[in-house]
Amino acid sequence: MSPVQTMPPRSYHIGKDDLGADILEVAMGPHHPSTHGVFRMDLKLDGETVVDLKPVFGYLHRNHEKIAEDITYPMSMPFTDRLDYLCGMTNNWAYALSAEKLIEIKVPERAEYIRVIVAELTRLVNHCLLIGFFVNDLGALGTPLLYALREREKILDLFEVLSGARMMVNYIRFGGVRCDPPDGWLKECQRIVDAFPAFLDEYETLLTENEIIIARAQNVGVVTREEAINFSLTGPMLRASGVNYDIRKVDRYGIYDRFDFKVPIGGHGDCYDRFMVRMLEMRQSVKILKQAIRDLPEGEIMGKAPKIFRPAPGEAYGRIEAPKGELGFYLISDGTPIPYRFKVRPPSFVNLTALRHMCLGHKVADAVIILGSIDIVLGEVDR
């Protein structure tokens, strides 16, 4: 047996800055629980202050886009569930919207309303978890996250009854939706939606005026309006920096032009604003849901889609306001049943590009909070 003991590789390194002072280089990850997936942050620290940061990903890469170029258009629908695996319904819708532009399928009225209902329920699921995990990153272990998971379970139960699955729903189809809501589903959905504001009141009472959350989140990870635009941020990240831009209002895809709702925006672009924008967005989602359930018409749930989806040569880009921001699919058709090019524009990946800028000058503990406020899912980053 060799007398030399091999030491495990270190996750840190001590270097020098231009003036000869020690700079500690730390690899936070790839399995750090605060990183919301298999993700690594390479930090350079002067004491506890972040002087440089490099996000490192690729640990979860599944080759989604290339696989889609070897299978037919409908076969890719279940794969979209695995992008942002918390938001399967909205992933389905964005892909269906792109494919429907290629072949111009008319979606029935009832299916359009059902799409809005499941999409806004998905927004509630996403924002509930984001708030719960964000507060967890701040150090409030237990109660807030469990409250969020409790509300999420109610909506996932609805998804399970509707689609047969809680997360990998594979529910939306080109030209409509896979099946009509079963008897009693809408009544239960109405009950959950009506009760949701009471949960939001409880959450806001618990969190919004909490002095620890205010001290830790305000003026931390600030992104100005101009910076947010230059980084191409979208969704709550963009609106928290004061930019009034929501694709539901801009493109009015589906039937969103029929609903009365407001777009919450922040004034400072810090972690607290990103937290509050999502809290307010949940109230607006409840408002949309009440209108959609009330006005849901009778009728067909599928348009006249061809049995073999073979679009004429061309290209299309369809996008929606997913819970995390702009989710788009770019498709190129060469006239065969298999897409020539399949490209995803994921909000998590694009919003993550601002991480280094947001963390510079802050402490290590703040970097964890800032990452949490971006709201990423690595299934969407590592496509």
Q: What is the separation of C-alpha 37 from the centre of its chain, rounded to a whole number of angstroms?
A: 13
Per residue in 1-40, pLDDT (tens digit) is 444 444 344 455 566 555 556 778 888 877 765 566 788 8
Q: What 3 state SS string does 123-188 have?
A: HHHHHHHHHHHHHHHCCCCCHHHHHHHHHHHHHHHHHHHHHCCCCCCCCEECCEECCCCCCCHHHH
pLDDT at position 252: 93
Distance CA 243, CA 234 (A): 9
| Residue 214 · residue 240 · CB < 8 Å | no
* Residue 210 structure tokens: 């909490």
The identity of residue 321, as a single letter, is E
pLDDT at position 60: 80
pLDDT at position 306: 84
> Which long-range CB contacts under 8 A does 138-145 form with residues at least 24 apart?
138/212, 138/213, 138/216, 138/217, 138/369, 139/212, 139/216, 140/212, 140/213, 143/206, 144/203, 144/206, 144/207
pLDDT at position 105: 87
Other Cβ atoms closer than 10 A to 334: 12
The identity of residue 140, as a single letter, is A
Per residue in 133-163, pLDDT (tens digit) is 888 888 776 678 888 889 999 999 999 999 9
* Residue 334 structure tokens: 């060469």
Between the CA of residue 166 and those of 138, 170, 193, what are the distances in Å? 28, 10, 18
Sign of torsion over alpha carbons 68, 73, 77, 83: positive
* Residue 99 structure tokens: 């494919």
Distance CA 315, CA 168 (A): 27
pLDDT at position 34: 57
Does 74 sit behind a cis peptide bond, omega within 30 degrees of 0 on the bond before it? Answer: no
pLDDT at position 13: 56
pLDDT at position 1: 44
Question: Tokens 């800028």 sit at which residue?
Answer: 357
pLDDT at position 16: 56
| Residue 360 · residue 50 · CB < 8 Å | yes
Question: Comparing C-alpha atoms, which of 125, 116, 43, 42 is closest to residue 87?
Answer: 125
pLDDT at position 18: 57
Distance CA 360, CA 20 (A): 20
pLDDT at position 21: 65
Read off the DSSP letter of residue 267. Answer: S
Other Cβ atoms closer than 10 A to 360: 14
Does 182 sit behind a cis peptide bond, omega within 30 degrees of 0 on the bond before it? Answer: no
| Max CA distance (Å), the chain | 79
Helix (H) or strand (E) holding 25: strand 22-28
pLDDT at position 6: 44
Q: What is the separation of C-alpha 376 from the centre of its chain, rounded to a whole number of angstroms?
A: 6
pLDDT at position 324: 95
The residues facing 177 across adjacent strands are: 172
pLDDT at position 301: 94
* Residue 33 structure tokens: 């629980």
Residues of the chain below pLDDT 50: 1-10
The H helix count followed by the E strand count for the chain is: 15, 9
| Three-state DSSP class for residue 72 | coil
The structural domains of the chain, ordered by start, are: 12-56 (no CATH), 64-381 (1.10.645.10)
